[in-house]
Structure 1
Amino acid sequence: MTLNVGVIGVGMIGQDHIRRLTHVLSGARVAAVTDVDLARARTVADDLPGAVLHDSGQELIADPGVDAVVVTSWGPTHEEYVLGCIAAGKQVFCEKPLATTEAACTRIVDAEVAAGRRLVMVGFMRRYDPQYRAMKQVVTSGEIGLPLLMHAAHRNPSVPPHYTSDMIINDSTVHDIDVARWMFDDEIAAITVLKPRVSSKAAAGFNDPLLVLLEMASGVVVDVEAMVNAGFGYDIRGEVVCEDGTVELSESAGALVKTAGRVSGRVPANWQERFVRAFDTEFQAWIDAVTAGGTTGPSAWDGYAATVSCETALAALHSGERVPAVLRERPDLYKEGAR
């Protein structure tokens, strides 16, 4: 069986996922596309044999020739399209964020609970990265004892002019927030954001870097260094400190060469290079699960919890205070073992 996928949003990441679905993975084809820029969507559709161009996301969702939907449009539009997929009973892969506000995420969770089954997967691809998975296996096994701390860093070489301090939280640190929840199977209880000395590379009024402190409900503390003008490359770090040892991500790129008294290695240029395998693995898992009649991976609850945590972190950033993270009660649909 070939899964006929409709893609809403054909910007940079949408086109990358179309390439992945068309040329890299098995079991799926892009059957329909749409975008707020219909001219761009038409250009993309022209390169996809048999793909239908739709005037709107809702029209695409209603297309009987579309089995499942990928949402890669602008964040504030996600709620409308995800709710549309739930109403149509179609599985949907939604790039992060699930939605941009707690209220919007709550409406999605409520709709999915009312539907009685999981239909939503959220694109937190780090859960599919081989290095992060190896780290989690060690932590979960208990072989190095109880986890106490996690150190993380998210360093971008640069960001476009429209990028703001708030986006360091919503667009960058959100991945570390999801990793922390997943790594420890735990929720975030409170967040503090510290403002170190500002980089000279940052625009006026821009707080870069930030140090985000996540207090997990279990007592584990996660510190995240978020820096988006690092210059030298896209550098992702992670280390979990346990009672009997530590486990950390290996260097972010390929081989580390030691010769003639020097050490050298490559740092990835961007997020596509660093996480290409994670994106491929993530999407293949979704295709396989949907084809089998279900879904997998990060749920609407995970998307909700990440957005609540981001809103909490923004409150901490602007107030300078430690801010508790308050979640609603987790519905049974999203408890362990539920599908």
Structure 2
Amino acid sequence: MPEHAPLGVAVIGTGRMGADHVRRIQEVISGARVTAVVDVDAERAEAVAARAGGCAVHTDPAKAMASADVDAVLVASPGPAHEAALMAAFAHDLPVLCEKPLTPDAASALRLVEAEQALGRRRVQVGFMRRYDPEYARLKALLETGRLGRPLMLHNRHRNVASPDFFTSEMLITDSVAHEVDVTRWLLGHEITAVTVHRPAPSAGAPEGLADPQFVVLETAGGALSDVEIFVNCGFGYQVQAEVVCEGGTARIGDAHDLVTAAAGRWGGSIAQDWTERFADAYDREVQAWVDATRRGEVTGPGSWDGYAAAAVCEAGTRALREGGRVTVELAERPALYG
């Protein structure tokens, strides 16, 4: 890639997330352009390519990666397809931004960690976009100052208006709580060692058979506890909130106090209705940071180890959901590459 030329990106997966990333690269961020889109549904890929001003369309990720005008890859396909796409990217030595999950299970995620380690350098950034949200970033910066003392507890609330028809009880953990798993590891700076999942009586608003809400407790190697209220059919809005309780004070984010009105004897504001509204800025910042780092020849942000660790914690969580009780998290030894 010439020094001042835009980064040529192949976007793999043209569903809601992939199409939004195509729009983001073409219309919002700088320093990159979409040179290829890939999807098993060629008609859908062609429609997305047309909206992007026209670019190459492929149904095979490896063929797209072999193109001379592809400098990097953004993977937004379903999780089960991620391992093959990332292995192909490794074969072409291409940097990747991979939407979470890295893969749906710990074993396949560990294979990717080992394959990347064999390359001798990091090539993957995993799409845990909350790290790029301004509120979460300020909370992380505050904790790093040490002014509040040692973190003791982290309280998380994660609520959706309604869950998709295909959602299962396990997906509350693997698709939703996975974000809090990464946030816990990132904010507190320790690996998660055990998971317990409590199941209150299901909400009347939850589909038949869906264990919703759930209350998840994460234990960390540093002795702190992190709890997650996950409620994916709350009915009223999309809320993501976090409060850290430290030895010398507390800090809370996610209250959405950007605009509060007072009129006609009432006060209040609005509640976001989905993640695309709440975290739009975080996604923009995440992709821009990835493009900027890639153009410098660097890989920053959450990596393959973070994706693997999240997968291992979610596996322990789904087991705790099924079997009850406390389940320990089994992690491989962390390679020096991810130190």
1:37-116 maps to which residues of 2 (within 5 A)? 37-116=41-120
Aligned AA (1:266): S
User: Which residue in 1 is equivalent to 2:19?
Assistant: 15
1:147-194 Cα offsets, whole Å, 9 max, x none, are 100100100000121111111001110000000000011100100000
Farther off after superposition, 48-57 or 92-101: 48-57
Q: State the 1:259 CA deviation.
A: 5.9
| 1:219 equivalent among 208, 215, 223 | 223
1:239 and 1:246 in contact (8 A); partners too: yes
Give distance in 2, aligned partners of 1:228 and 1:50: 37
Match of 2:166 in 1: 162
1:213-264 deviation digits (Å, cap 9, x = unpaired):
0001101000100000011100111000001110000413521335676441
Aligned AA (1:79) = E
Supply the distance in 2 between the matched residues of 1:252 and 1:23 (Cα, whole angstroms).
Answer: 26
* TM-score normalised to structure 1 length: 0.96
Alpha-carbon distance change, 250 to 160 in structure 1, aligned in 2, over 3 angstroms: closer
Matches within 5 A, 1:190-339: 190-252=194-256, 254-258=258-262, 262-335=266-339
What residue identity is the alignment partner of 1:56?
A: D
Alpha-carbon distance in 1 for matches of 2:233, 2:256: 17
Does the aligned pair in 2 maintain the 1:256–1:264 contact within 8 Å?
yes
Percent sequence identity is 47
* Superposed displacement of residue 58, structure 1: 1.3
Q: Deviations over 1:118-159 (max 9, x none)?
A: 000000000000011111111121111111001001000001
1:24 aligns with 2:35: no
Aligned to 1:178: 182
Q: Is the Cα contact below 8 Å between 2:240 and 2:254 reproduced in 1? A: no
2:180 counterpart of 1:148: no
Amino acid at match of 2:115: A
Over aligned residues, Cα RMSD in angstroms? 1.2
Report deviation, 1:86: 1.1
Partner Cα separation in structure 2 for residue 178 and residue 136 of structure 1? 13
- The structural deviation recorded for 1:31 is 0.2
Preserved contact between residue 121 and residue 295 of structure 1 (Cα < 8 Å): yes
CA 1:201/1:112 → structure 2, altered by over 3 Å: closer, same or farther? same
Structure 1, unaligned runs of 5 or more: none
Counterpart amino acid of 1:152? Answer: N
Q: CA deviation at 1:204?
A: 1.6
Looking at structure 2, the residues matched to 22 and 291 of structure 1 have their Cα atoms a distance apart, in angstroms, of 17
CA distance in 1, matches of 2:63, 2:316: 35
CA distance in 2, matches of 1:46, 1:261: 50
Give the conservation status (yes or no) of the 8 Å contact 1:237–1:252.
no
In the alignment, the residues of structure 1 paired with residue 240 and residue 46 of structure 2 have an alpha-carbon distance, to the nearest angstrom, of 36
8 A contact 2:26–2:32 mirrored in 1: yes
* Segments ≥4 residues shifted beyond 2 Å: 46-50, 256-263
Contact 2:22 2:52 in 1 (8 A): no
Task: Give the stretch that moved more between structures: 239-248 or 197-206.
Answer: 197-206
